[in-house]
Chains A and B, each alone.
Chain A
Amino acid sequence: MDRREFLTAIGGAAAIAGMPQFALAGPPGRYDNLLVLVELKGGNDGLNTVVPYADMEYYSLRPRIAIARDQVLQLDASSGLHPSLQPLMTLWQNHELAVVQSVGYPGANLSHFRSIEIWDTASKSSEYLHDGWLARAFADSPVPKSYAADGVVVGSSEMGPLAGGSTRALALSNTEQFLRQSRLASTEGTSRNAALNHLLKVEHDVKQAASTLNANYTFRAEFPNHQLGNAMKTAAQVIASKAGVAAVKVSHNGFDTHSNQRGTQERLLKELAEGLIAMRSAMQEIGRWDSTLMMTYCEFGRRPKENQSAGTDHGTANAHFVLGGRVKGGLYGSPPALSRLDGNGNLPFGVDFRDLYSTALDRWWGVNSVVALNGRFAPVDLIRA
């Protein structure tokens, strides 16, 4: 299968062959700047991630699961990070980490499916769009044809913001896992289960075709040996290959902490911090930390009041991270308004998530965000000129 066929075969739900004929003149984007989206699947609890440790309301809402004041990594007089995020403190001190609080949208939806669809398509909560916001952006301001792909999804099969349109997007699984699986497929010949062989062969073919992207660059930087670490490593290898990509999406799963949140979130945030730091080291190694912007996102934050199972239910506004060599580090947005919870006990939002997208589109890539976002949004001023 040649690369074009391969891209067609797995380029998302509405696989289209190649570039659209009508590639109009939006001005070319500065796609030498890379966007890395990190999805925290399931809905990370922002309140225990960026902790309002000086707000007594926080402790009365979460008697069992609140992060103790003396464990919090202080960012300023009112906010601090979950202790598992210790590795990120280097970035904080270097002013490369922007912490954006109270990110959400009007008419918040509490369903996983629906809310992530809203984030991925940058739609209003009452409208239903098919294409991802990046797909729309790339349709309006195309990525150079010389690039290997517009975007790459690593560690997941869900295209998310890259879904649809005529985006040239790839889904790559974890490199290590592929190598293990493909070894299984090729050995043991006839005694091997033919059906399994076929499955592994198809996955292997996908990987083979995708390996045109993968320079197999050997980084000195070490990547942690967990699912996110492996996905970051694969993403870094894709980025390191001479053929370019404009956007990469990496997913970390397990954040839907309805019960026993403490242990789970502790592990997940540790893995997140380790993964982000490793990616930074890798980008520095190839001299492109200054041209990389990483941004976390997910379907929603979680309910301020803990539930009966030492966990939290679905919520609304959330805290997210933006990091990169040219990020203006600091706290953005407003702290969680715990005294202004809505009828469901959920937080009001301050920063619309589409403002963050507009930051990537208008400020980072210099493309027109109005088409991609179906409206005008105000970029958050967190990128150094």
Chain B
Amino acid sequence: MPKLFVMLSLLCVASAVLAASPMGFDEARELLNRTSFAASVDDINAFARLSRAQAVDRLLAGTDKNSVVSTPAPAWVNTFESPRRVRLLSEEERKQFRREQLQKGVELRSWWMTEMLTTPSPLTEKMVLFWHNHFVSSLQKVRSPVLMYRQNLLLRKHAFGYFGDLLHEVAKDPAMVVYLDSASNRKGQPNENFAREVMELFTLGEGNYGEQDIKEVARAFTGWSIDPDRGEFVFRSAVHDEGVKTVLGRSGEFDGDAVLDILLAQPQTAELIVTKLWREFVSPNPDAAEVKRIARMFRDNRYNIKVALRALLVSDAFYAPQNRAALIKSPVELIVGTLRQFRFETGEMTPFLFVSRQLGQDLFAPPNVKGWPGGEAWINSATLLARKQLLESLFRAREMRPTPVAMNGETDNVKAGDNVSGSGKPGIDSRQRFARAMMDINFDGDKWLSQFRPGDPVLKVVLASEPVSAPVAGVTGIDLVRQMVLDPAYQLK
């Protein structure tokens, strides 16, 4: 007996030691690349000295400034464009209004992408994007850049907070109200859109409720509407169905908030969220037992999102060899990751917004309420080609510098940062601005390479796995970098 006791104690000590031991380069690389778009060799080395727990805690601590966005928001975000006022405009004024709204959409996307590029806490942006893809609304339907901006702030506010709070507030978010037709949902005239999606996509998941539940839930949410002049949530009691509803076997005079609490009480809700987080951060195939374990922790901690995320990021599954390079980079990850990794300096975001849309991910405009499916869906013959085109054009040169004034003193009419609203600058078209934005891209290959000391694993910093094609002998420096980013392995994280 004593021998067994000693052996068991030794085993416990051993695994405790392992859990607290430095994570090493490979694990640090995995952690940082999956949470931060890209990582430098210095960052990886710094985290390599930490244990998994310390590393993840450090990362999560860095998100505490998540509601502070360093990129200045566009000037118009505080002015809601009331549709009532728009209806009073002349035909010509309406055309102008539509042009301005389009331009605002570009500025909104530019704002977010700029933040992704420059933020010291990329994990914050990853999570805001995660929630944007969960609580989907699209500018295409919502039509108001102001409301989409406000939704973004809301997602940001709760990104690492309590899922229950997030759910309650998103349900009342004006952009969401518009997107899921909540305002059309009235006593006697139910619109089931929100009810269906809140159960199917936001909380329980398919198969965990019935059609009758949807009808009853819709009744509970009647009266949820928005004030068309201020673009703010308003509850219209006159059209609210006050009767008794039966949802998932429970009965009562539920309103929307009460129903949300019922949904939050179901274990499937926590499992749905953890499953999605798994697919985002760990692998395409969630481990059912692990999901249940982490979902229980999630629920037991009042749906504290940080708790769930932490559990995933310290799990053995996250670092398991078979899960290395098991995920495909989304368009935003590819673009932002490449620009961050290689320290590109950029002008306007428009070329990158264009490419991101071409690759299938238009910020603020997921294709439908299910969001971007992600994973292998990102890659088909057209998008793979477009990804390679982007990388080839970014790495065409050893370096790119912002273009000086052309030879004979003539400049292109637009400089980066010029306010081109269409007024007072005849002949400026978006093509020109696009070209100008491309010319503002600044990349210094030699400088990027100089961060590495002899013996540093350059390949490992850039690639999540061994390259598919062996590097050609004798190729070094930036030519080697170019080969790495054009290797299929670069598409993986």
Residues of A within 8 A of B (CB): 1, 6, 9-10, 13, 15, 41-43, 107-114, 116-117, 125-126, 128, 130, 156-159, 171, 177, 180-181, 184, 191, 193-196, 198-200, 202-203, 205-206, 226-227, 253-254, 256-259, 267, 316, 342-344, 346
Contacts and interface: CB of A to CB of B under 8 A. Distances in A.
A105 B358 CA distance: 32
Contacts of B322: 191, 193
B328 A117 contact: no
B382 A9 contact: yes
Contacts of A342: 407-408
25 contacts: A10-B381, A13-B389, A107-B410, A108-B407, A109-B403, A112-B397, A113-B438, A113-B439, A117-B435, A128-B431, A158-B389, A158-B393, A181-B488, A191-B322, A193-B492, A195-B327, A195-B328, A196-B465, A196-B468, A202-B381, A206-B381, A253-B396, A256-B396, A256-B399, A342-B408
Q: Which 10 residue pairs across A and B have the least CB separation, nearest first?
A: A157-B388, A113-B438, A111-B403, A256-B397, A256-B398, A111-B439, A128-B431, A198-B376, A9-B381, A157-B389
B492 A196 contact: yes
B446 interface: yes
Interface string B428-453: 01011001001101000010000000
A224 to B, nearest CB: 12
Contacts of A344: 404, 407
A199 B491 contact: yes
Interface string B48-90: 0000000000000000000000000000000000000000000
B479 A253 contact: yes
B482 interface: yes
Interface in B325-358: 325-328, 358
Contacts of B376: 194-195, 198
Contacts of B375: 195
B379 A199 contact: yes
Interface in B376-431: 376, 379-382, 384-386, 388-389, 392-393, 396-400, 403-404, 406-408, 410, 412, 429, 431
A198 B489 CA distance: 11
A35 B284 CA distance: 46
A319 B254 CA distance: 79
A107 B469 CA distance: 41
B16 interface: no
Contact of A181 (B327, B389, B399, B469): B469
B288 interface: no
B450 to A, nearest CB: 12
Contacts of A227: 472
A254 B481 CA distance: 11
Given A110-B404, A111-B438, A158-B389, A194 B399 contact: no
